[in-house]
């Protein structure tokens, strides 16, 4: 007992001494230093509120705070990307496309002479790392060029609001247009649920005999938003939902694939809508094929991988017959000014890059960034708040066909993107040097997608709850 | 040329059998788990290393197979006229040799220095290896999934079919009571061959040396057995088995697209099979593999009640494992540790 | 006994937490440095005062608590558990339910921190104790795999229990680190917002850091004390030889239950703090890799010692950041070009698809690993390297260095 009391006493004394040293030492000798840190830490907010730096360099007054350095002539933009995690095979080319486009923008004079510098960080698709990496770069960037993953983006959303920064979510959850989340997000492209409505509308249009649909998806905003959209579409189109496997697929759990495949086969549906990752999608499709099922297959475009169409792929012929997808951007071999330029850009940037739509997605995002930064420059306000305001007042953004045009101003029902590009796997396209996706119909929107009154997320994932 | 559907018996009114699907799926899963477990158990038995990098090795092996068979086409490019299945089999042999070489290198570089260290310290070393191999394999695989290039395609054997219904361009649409993909037949036969091969190997001179090493390394050494060589050999076999596991995972109908960045995670699902049979039993790996395969397949076919939520089938292997271990703490066929003071 | 530091005249002084003057001084200095860190006054460590580094250090403190828990189970009682992540998850969700926003989408009762934090530990401990009997029946490696099953069963439950966990890929928010007496609007002490404490301006990261640092110190003290008690000695006897321990009158069953209970308590608290610290957590956070990370922490640090856990955690948590900064720096040097260093590094780094190099600065294309993949590979290599060259862990290295200087100039 004695030993304990003694140690407790010493520990307390030590603690007090340390505390005393800490406070008094700080007050006497290190006040100045502490203050300077305090001011540098607080600098961003102070300058925004009180007196933003003004400069006459470009004949006009440009306000700046964080991330834009007029003296060095740079604009720093962050990318939070999954470069080593489960979605790295999709996100890596997006980042490459982004870099290629930014290099091209800079070579062409940048944003009125200002060079865009990218601060790329790997999140490994972990929420913890995402938040940590955000905090690492937040004091040097003006905005986030993209932010990979939905729960990941939600986890930094509050900080985005506090820091007055915008981010482009690299997911297509319909809830991003919801005012509750939307304040600092700039979602582009067709949300998952509108995508479902478009494809199901298209498929029933082409195959009037189809009467039933089987739906299965991953759990979470990605899968369930898509599944919810498919159900809304089925109701509007008079399709009977013969299997509802919303949220039943877990791409990392083989057993769920067998379970869903069995149920889909048993349902005998005419149309199958499955939203999951490429490997899991091909697994469910393969098992249904092995059980002798024929149906029209579709699902979110995320399921597509050009490896399925390779000369050695066993499902090469079957998928050309069965699969249809809707892309939020143009497929690689689309022939329009925007896509042609993007394709050339990638081929010049890396001659060995395989044709793949995710490079184009990076270019789409970088062009959006360019338009926002140009608008902010023209308005003379390149503070974070100014850039955010510029992003939110982008009336008509055109990608020259690389992606359907989009507006970022107004009510969710007005801004939500409803246009998609209907594509089908095509070995001929792959052999001709394309990515294997043939553009069937550009800027397509089905009647139900066009008529859908969008006020809130189709599927409320309950983010932030 | 293999026909798309080999019809063995015809009936007039046919209903696809869910039980049949479950059994075929269970057999295919069982073969995967058994092969993964075999590789794991061989390494553990001979070298006392718990190999967390097994999944990464499976993915790397599957990549090698895709690489030899479809990308550089070796040895197929030198043997134009030979039948496709022969070219493919030789490519697989080359890929297995490459995997075995990687396994031996890993053992020599990273695990030999850990000889005699605590079991879990060594296990964490394999975890470091897992991170490295997985990263490199993902980089090698690249952006698209890589098919295995096997000659079986979508071909199937049908039992109890109703002939005459050809709907699409592929004659896969016949209604049959039970359909067995050629790939499943291939997986099962290769598993049998491997198990018999290993059983015979353990009766050979080297095999006996390996068993002796597993029993007592120092005594084995005293008898003139090169323990280092045995270690290298068991890692070579283990890595080659992992590669075969990777091949089995990346085939139609389970993953017709081939090997991708998810393949490495599959091997963790083989752990219940390994434990169920007993960590150091070859027979256990086989029995455990098929038992778990069937349990999982049955659960995902029949235990689909709403209240069980999503993914119950995937938990069943672990529940079976828990139950078996509580009754038999060293697995079904594992060696009981004799506890002395 | 002045001047003869290693002469102990009583059992108490031999078993004291700081049984030498040097330990006292170093512990005091270390604490002082940690406390002063956010003020950027410690020479050479100024960069640590930045918010992102303080966040990393807070993560270290939180993982230290979890690591101490596993260390008690693995290092003291000799029971291998791969289920640590499960208990952390349990703790996190108990905290979320008790402390969560009552008006939120998910289940929450809005109770204050002083209830949800201990409760997180207690519930996790109860589940740990309930699991104990299995640990008595199953031994060694098999126990490791039984606990592995726990992670997968836990994952299944967490994915499906949406009202509590938010479900897969969505997750939920966790109560912030704010101290309230009861449910009052303004928290008494807020660790999550900038502002002054006792007249000293502090950023929110610094406040959070102080809170978790205090928690970690408390748990370190408890763990250190546990080693010196009857229970701690019973654990060690079971670790060394369970049958021998039983013959000496140590109740194996009860002590294994205790070990699981105490370890799970630490895990629960650590999980609650981690979830609250990050803010949003998805169920797959509590996966096998988290468990394995903790085993790595204990083994790299050196099993069985509190100081080892601290060293091991710092290594495992801070290493990825250090490697990342190093690889990014390498990339910058090469891109700027000209200097000799750049030429040397250019041999390793490829800047465009035609350039040769082990590392490629273009993610996704061309041969060679991207900087981020290299980051992963170096991380793996360092873990392996450490275990190969110093199986006793960082603590072992420290002991070697200490012994070298102790006997200096006589190094034998």
Token pair belonging to A234: 């089925």
If you compute the radius of gyration of chain B from its CA atoms, what whole number of angstroms results? Answer: 21
Question: C25 or C343: whose pLDDT is higher?
Answer: C25
* C31 has a chain A CB within 8 A of its CB: yes
How much is the average pLDDT of C170-193? 88
Token pair belonging to B293: 């395969």
Residue C197 and residue C110 in one domain = yes
What confidence score (pLDDT) does residue A60 get?
58
Cβ contacts of residue A32 below 8 Å, gap of 6+? Answer: none
* A252 has a chain B CB within 8 A of its CB: yes
Name the residue among A14, A23, A92 with its Cβ closest to that of C363.
Answer: A92
- Measured distance CA(B177)–CA(A425) in Å, rounded: 31
Location of structure tokens 């520990």: A11
How much is the average pLDDT of B220-230? 92
What confidence score (pLDDT) does residue C348 get?
67
Cα atoms in the 13 Å half-sphere on the side-chain side of A259: 33
**B238 pLDDT higher than 60:** yes
Q: How far is A91 from chain B (nearest CA, A)?
A: 10
Residue A268 and residue A413 in one domain = no
* A171 has a chain B CB within 8 A of its CB: no
Do C301 and C309 contact (CB within 8 A), yes or no?
A: yes
How much is the average pLDDT of A225-249? 94
**C39 pLDDT higher than 90:** no
Residue C356 and residue C225 in one domain = no
How much is the average pLDDT of A59-68? 80
What confidence score (pLDDT) does residue A445 get?
94
What confidence score (pLDDT) does residue C337 get?
67
Give the Å distances, CA to CA, from C84 to A176, C66, C295. Answer: 35, 8, 9
Q: How far is C104 from chain B (nearest CA, A)?
A: 23
How much is the average pLDDT of C368-394? 79
What confidence score (pLDDT) does residue A47 get?
39
Residue C249 and residue C205 in one domain = yes
How much is the average pLDDT of A98-126? 93
* A1 has a chain C CB within 8 A of its CB: no
Residue C366 lies in a domain: yes
**C47 pLDDT higher than 50:** yes
* C71 has a chain B CB within 8 A of its CB: no
Name the residue among A89, A308, A317 with its Cβ closest to that of B169.
Answer: A317
Question: C141 or A127: whose pLDDT is higher?
Answer: A127
**C357 pLDDT higher than 80:** no
Residue C146 lies in a domain: yes
Residue C124 and residue C273 in one domain = yes
Kindly report the backbone phi and psi dihedral angles of residue B303, in degrees, each rounded to the nearest multiple of 5, phi listed first.
Answer: -90, 65
Do the bridges between strand A143-148 and strand A74-81 make them parallel or antiparallel, or are there none, so unpaired?
Answer: parallel
What residue of C is the nearest CA neighbor of B320?
C149
Do the bridges between strand A437-444 and strand B5-7 make them parallel or antiparallel, or are there none, so unpaired?
Answer: unpaired
Residue A240, beta-bridge partner list: A212
Token pair belonging to C139: 């031994």
Number of domains in chain A: 2
Residue C220 lies in a domain: yes
Residue A353 and residue A296 in one domain = no
How much is the average pLDDT of C20-36? 86
Q: Which string of DSSP letters, residue by residue, matches B128-152?
A: HHHHHHHHHHHHHH-SS-B----TT
What confidence score (pLDDT) does residue C323 get?
81
What residue of C is the nearest CA neighbor of B308?
C160
Residue A254 and residue A316 in one domain = yes
- Measured distance CA(C18)–CA(A6) in Å, rounded: 12
Give the Å distances, CA to CA, from A28 to A20, A38, C162, C210. Answer: 12, 16, 54, 22
Report pLDDT digits (tens) over A165-192.
999 999 999 999 888 888 899 998 899 9
Token pair belonging to B124: 């964490």
**A147 pLDDT higher than 90:** yes
Residue A12 lies in a domain: no
Task: Select from B141, B47, B53 the least CA-distant residue to C383.
Answer: B53
Question: B276 or C347: whose pLDDT is higher?
Answer: B276
Residue C32 lies in a domain: no
Q: What angle do CA A250, A253, A258 make, to 5 degrees?
A: 90
Q: How far is A465 from chain C (nearest CA, A)?
A: 5
Burial class (CB in 10 A: 0-12, 13-18, 19+), A374: middle
What confidence score (pLDDT) does residue A31 get?
35
Average pLDDT, chain A: 85
pLDDT band at A43; cut points 50, 70, 90: very low
Q: Of how many residues is chain B composed? A: 341
Give the Å distances, CA to CA, from B165 to A292, B162, B170. Answer: 11, 8, 11
What confidence score (pLDDT) does residue A27 get?
36
Question: B12 or A68: whose pLDDT is higher?
Answer: A68
Contacts of B268 in chain C (CB under 8 A): 288
Residue A461 lies in a domain: no
pLDDT band at C396; cut points 50, 70, 90: confident
Do the bridges between strand A437-444 and strand C200-202 make them parallel or antiparallel, or are there none, so unpaired?
Answer: unpaired
**B339 pLDDT higher than 80:** no
- Measured distance CA(A112)–CA(A374) in Å, rounded: 8
Cβ contacts of residue B323 below 8 Å, gap of 6+? Answer: none
Residue A214 and residue A273 in one domain = yes
Domains of chain B, by residue range, sit at: 5-268
pLDDT band at C103; cut points 50, 70, 90: confident
Average pLDDT, chain C: 86
Q: Read off the CATH number of the domain in which A399 is found.
A: 3.40.50.2300
Do C265 and C72 contact (CB within 8 A), yes or no?
A: no
Contacts of C206 in chain A (CB under 8 A): none
* B67 has a chain A CB within 8 A of its CB: no
Report pLDDT digits (tens) over B138-187.
888 888 889 999 888 888 887 777 664 433 333 566 677 788 888 999 99
Distance of CA A11 to the CA centre of its chain: 52
**B88 pLDDT higher than 90:** yes
Give the Å distances, CA to CA, from A458 to A58, A154, A240. Answer: 46, 17, 19
Residue C239 and residue C355 in one domain = no
What confidence score (pLDDT) does residue B7 get?
59
Give the Å distances, CA to CA, from B22 to A252, B74, C139. Answer: 20, 37, 34
Residue A202 and residue A280 in one domain = yes
- Measured distance CA(A144)–CA(A185) in Å, rounded: 10
pLDDT band at A30; cut points 50, 70, 90: very low
Q: Which of A15-24, A357-366, B212-221 has the highest mean pLDDT?
A: A357-366
pLDDT band at C406; cut points 50, 70, 90: confident
What range defines the domain where residue A436 resides? Answer: 192-327+421-451
- Measured distance CA(C141)–CA(C81) in Å, rounded: 9
What confidence score (pLDDT) does residue A5 get?
45
* A211 has a chain B CB within 8 A of its CB: no
DSSP state of A329: S
Report pLDDT digits (tens) over A413-434.
888 899 999 999 999 999 998 8
How much is the average pLDDT of B313-324? 88
Token pair belonging to B108: 């020599």
Record: contact B310-C141, CB cut-off 8 A: no
- Measured distance CA(C153)–CA(C143) in Å, rounded: 15
Residue A458 lies in a domain: no
Report pLDDT digits (tens) over C298-336.
888 877 789 899 999 998 899 888 888 887 787 777 777
* A124 has a chain B CB within 8 A of its CB: no
CA dihedral C252, C255, C261, C264 (to 10 degrees): -80
Residue A255 and residue A363 in one domain = no
How much is the average pLDDT of B81-108? 94
Task: Select from A456, A404, A375, A335 the least CA-distant residue to A143.
Answer: A375
Cβ atoms within 10 A of the Cβ of B206, count?
13
Report pLDDT digits (tens) over A254-287.
888 988 998 998 898 999 999 999 989 999 999 9
Residue A421, beta-bridge partner list: A327
Region class of A313: left (phi > 0), else alpha (psi between -120 and 50), else beta: beta
Give the Å distances, CA to CA, from B181 to A221, B172, B273, B312. Answer: 35, 11, 24, 26
How much is the average pLDDT of B38-43? 92
Do the bridges between strand B175-181 and strand B156-162 make them parallel or antiparallel, or are there none, so unpaired?
Answer: antiparallel
pLDDT band at A8; cut points 50, 70, 90: very low
Task: Select from B77, B51, B74, B78 the least CA-distant residue to B64.
Answer: B74
Number of domains in chain C: 2
What confidence score (pLDDT) does residue B13 get?
64
Residue C210 and residue C258 in one domain = yes
Report pLDDT digits (tens) over C231-244.
999 999 988 888 88
pLDDT band at A251; cut points 50, 70, 90: confident
Residue A425, beta-bridge partner list: A437
Record: contact A463-C39, CB cut-off 8 A: no
pLDDT band at A19; cut points 50, 70, 90: very low
Contacts of A457 in chain C (CB under 8 A): none
Residue C265 and residue C128 in one domain = yes
- Measured distance CA(C279)–CA(A156) in Å, rounded: 9
3-state secondary structure of C392: coil
Kindly report the backbone phi and psi dihedral angles of residue A406, in degrees, each rounded to the nearest multiple of 5, phi listed first.
Answer: -150, 150
- Measured distance CA(B225)–CA(B46) in Å, rounded: 13
* A7 has a chain C CB within 8 A of its CB: yes
What range defines the domain where residue C88 resides? Answer: 47-303
DSSP state of B109: I
Peptide bond preceding B253 in cis form (omega within 30 of 0): yes
Record: contact B322-C149, CB cut-off 8 A: yes
Interface probe with B: pick from A249, A250, A258, most Cβ of B within 10 Å: A258
**B1 pLDDT higher than 50:** no
DSSP state of B279: T
**B36 pLDDT higher than 90:** yes
Token pair belonging to A433: 């040097």
Give the Å distances, CA to CA, from B265 to B49, B70, B311, B330, C168. Answer: 19, 23, 16, 25, 18
Record: contact C383-B326, CB cut-off 8 A: no
First-last CA distance in chain A: 48
Give the Å distances, CA to CA, from A69 to A161, A375, C51. Answer: 22, 17, 22
* A-proximal residues of B, 312-331, CB under 8 Å: 312-314, 316
Percent of chain A clearing pLDDT 70 (strictly above)? 87
Element (H, E) at B56: helix B54-66
Residue C56 and residue C131 in one domain = yes
- Measured distance CA(A51)–CA(A35) in Å, rounded: 19
Q: If you count DSSP H runs as helices and E runs as strands, how many of each does chain B have, helices first?
A: 12, 3
Q: Touching A: which chains, 3+ CB pairs < 8 A?
A: B, C
């Amino acid at each position: 007992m004695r030993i304990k009391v003694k140690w407790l006493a010493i520990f307390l004394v030590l603690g007090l001494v340390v505390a005393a040293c800490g406070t008094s030492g700080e007050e006497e000798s290190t006040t100045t230093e502490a203050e300077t840190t305090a001011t540098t830490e607080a600098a961003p907010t102070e300058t925004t509120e009180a007196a933003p730096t003004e400069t006459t360099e470009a004949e006009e007054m440009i306000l700046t705070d964080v991330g834009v350095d007029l003296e060095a002539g740079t604009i720093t933009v962050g990318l939070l990307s999954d470069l080593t995690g489960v979605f790295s095979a999709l996100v890596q080319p997006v980042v490459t496309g982004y870099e290629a486009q930014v290099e091209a923008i800079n070579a062409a004079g940048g944003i009125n002479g200002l060079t865009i510098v990218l601060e790329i960080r790997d999140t490994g698709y972990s929420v913890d790392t995402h938040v940590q990496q955000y905090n690492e770069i937040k004091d040097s960037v003006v905005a986030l060029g993209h932010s990979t993953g939905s729960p990941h983006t939600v986890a930094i959303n509050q900080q985005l609001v506090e820091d007055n920064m915008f981010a482009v979510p690299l997911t297509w959850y319909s809830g991003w247009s919801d005012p509750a989340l939307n304040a600092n997000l700039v979602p582009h492209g067709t949300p998952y649920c509108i995508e479902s409505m478009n494809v199901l509308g298209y498929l029933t249009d082409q195959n009037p005999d189809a009467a039933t649909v089987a739906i299965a998806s991953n759990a979470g905003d990605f899968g369930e938003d898509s599944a919810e959209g498919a159900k809304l579409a089925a109701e509007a189109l008079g399709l009977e939902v013969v299997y509802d496997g919303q949220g039943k697929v877990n791409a990392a759990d083989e057993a769920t694939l067998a379970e869903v495949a069995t149920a889909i086969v048993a349902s005998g549906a005419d149309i199958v809508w499955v939203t999951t990752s490429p490997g899991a999608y091909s697994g469910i499709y393969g098992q249904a094929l092995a059980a002798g099922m024929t149906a029209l297959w579709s699902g979110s475009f995320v399921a597509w991988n050009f490896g399925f169409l390779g000369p050695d792929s066993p499902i090469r012929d079957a998928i050309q017959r069965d699969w249809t997808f809707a892309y939020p951007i143009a497929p690689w071999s689309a022939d329009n000014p925007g896509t042609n330029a993007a394709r050339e850009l990638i081929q010049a940037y890396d001659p060995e890059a395989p044709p793949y739509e995710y490079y184009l997605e990076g270019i789409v995002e970088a062009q959006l960034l360019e338009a926002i930064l140009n608008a902010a420059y023209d308005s003379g306000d390149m503070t974070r708040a100014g850039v955010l305001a510029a992003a939110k007042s982008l009336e008509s953004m055109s990608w020259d066909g690389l992606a359907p045009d989009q507006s970022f101003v107004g009510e969710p029902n007005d801004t939500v993107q409803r246009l998609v590009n209907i594509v089908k796997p095509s070995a001929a396209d792959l052999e001709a040097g394309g990515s294997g996706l043939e553009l069937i119909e550009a800027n397509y929107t089905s009647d139900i997608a066009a008529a859908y009154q969008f006020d809130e997320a189709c599927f409320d994932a309950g983010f932030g709850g | 040329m293999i026909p798309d559907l080999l019809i063995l018996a015809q009936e007039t009114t046919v209903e696809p059998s869910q039980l049949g699907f479950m059994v075929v799926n269970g057999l295919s899963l069982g073969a995967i788990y058994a092969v993964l477990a075999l590789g794991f158990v061989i390494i553990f038995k001979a070298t006392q290393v718990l190999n967390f990098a097994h999944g990464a090795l499976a993915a790397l092996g599957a990549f090698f197979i895709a690489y030899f068979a479809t990308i550089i086409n070796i040895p197929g490019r030198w043997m134009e006229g030979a039948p496709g299945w022969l070219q493919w089999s030789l490519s697989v042999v080359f890929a297995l040799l490459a995997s075995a070489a990687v396994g031996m290198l890993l053992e020599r570089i990273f695990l030999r220095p850990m000889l005699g260290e605590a079991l879990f310290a060594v296990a964490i070393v394999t975890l470091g290896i897992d991170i490295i191999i997985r990263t490199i394999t993902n980089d090698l695989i690249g952006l698209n999934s890589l098919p295995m290039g096997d000659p079986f395609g979508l071909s199937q054997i049908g039992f109890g079919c109703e002939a005459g219904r050809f709907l699409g361009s592929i004659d896969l649409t016949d209604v049959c009571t039970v359909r067995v993909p050629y790939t499943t037949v291939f997986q099962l036969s290769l598993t049998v061959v491997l198990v018999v091969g290993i059983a015979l190997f353990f009766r050979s001179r080297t095999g006996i040396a390996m068993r002796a090493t597993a029993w007592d390394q120092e005594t084995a050494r005293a008898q003139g057995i090169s323990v280092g060589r045995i270690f290298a050999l068991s890692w070579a076999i283990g890595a080659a088995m992992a590669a075969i596991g990777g091949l089995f995972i990346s085939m139609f109908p389970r993953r017709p697209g081939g090997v991708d960045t998810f393949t490495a995670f599959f091997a963790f699902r083989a752990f219940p099979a390994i434990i169920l049979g007993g960590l150091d039993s070859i027979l256990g790996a086989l029995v455990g593999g098929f038992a778990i395969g069937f349990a999982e397949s049955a659960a995902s076919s029949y235990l689909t009640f709403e209240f069980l939520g999503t993914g119950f089938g995937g938990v069943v292997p672990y529940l079976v494992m828990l139950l078996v271990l509580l009754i038999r703490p060293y697995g079904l066929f594992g060696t009981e540790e004799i506890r002395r003071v | 006994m002045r001047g003869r530091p290693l002469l102990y005249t009583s059992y108490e002084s031999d078993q004291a937490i700081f049984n030498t003057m040097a330990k006292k001084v170093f512990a005091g200095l270390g604490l002082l440095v940690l406390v002063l860190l956010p003020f950027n006054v410690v020479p050479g460590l100024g960069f640590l005062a930045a918010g992102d580094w303080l966040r990393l250090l807070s993560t270290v403190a939180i993982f230290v608590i979890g690591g101490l828990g596993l260390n008690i189970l693995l290092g003291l009682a000799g029971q291998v558990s791969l289920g640590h992540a499960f208990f952390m998850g349990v703790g996190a969700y108990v905290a979320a339910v008790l402390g969560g926003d009552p008006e939120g989408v998910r289940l929450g009762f809005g109770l204050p921190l002083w209830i949800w934090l201990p409760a997180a530990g207690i519930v996790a401990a109860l589940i740990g104790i309930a699991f104990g009997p299995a640990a008595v029946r199953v031994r060694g490696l098999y126990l490791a795999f039984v606990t592995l099953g726990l992670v997968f069963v836990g994952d299944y439950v967490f994915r499906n229990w949406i009202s509590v966990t938010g479900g897969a890929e969505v997750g939920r928010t966790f109560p912030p680190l704010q101290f309230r007496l009861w449910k009052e609007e303004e928290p008494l002490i807020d660790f999550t917002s900038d502002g002054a404490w006792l007249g000293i301006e502090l950023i929110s990261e610094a406040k959070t850091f102080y809170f978790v640092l205090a928690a970690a110190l408390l748990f370190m003290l408890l763990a250190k004390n546990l080693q010196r008690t009857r229970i701690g000695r019973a654990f060690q006897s079971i670790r060394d030889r369970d049958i021998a321990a039983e013959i000496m009158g140590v109740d194996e069953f009860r002590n294994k239950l205790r070990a699981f209970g105490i370890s799970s308590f630490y895990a629960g608290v650590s999980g609650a703090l981690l979830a609250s610290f990050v803010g949003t957590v998805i169920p797959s956070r509590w996966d096998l890799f988290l468990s394995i990370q903790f085993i790595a922490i204990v083994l790299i640090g050196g099993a069985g010692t509190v100081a080892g856990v601290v060293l091991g955690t710092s290594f495992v948590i801070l290493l990825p950041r250090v490697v990342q900064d190093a690889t990014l720096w390498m990339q910058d040097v090469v891109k700027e070009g000209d200097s000799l260093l750049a030429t040397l590094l250019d041999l390793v780094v490829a800047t465009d698809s035609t350039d040769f190099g082990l590392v490629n600065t273009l993610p996704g294309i061309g041969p060679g690993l991207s900087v981020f993949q290299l980051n992963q590979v170096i991380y793996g290599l360092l873990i392996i390297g450490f275990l190969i060259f110093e199986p006793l862990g960082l603590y072992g290295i420290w002991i070697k260095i200490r012994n070298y200087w102790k006997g200096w100039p006589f190094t034998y």
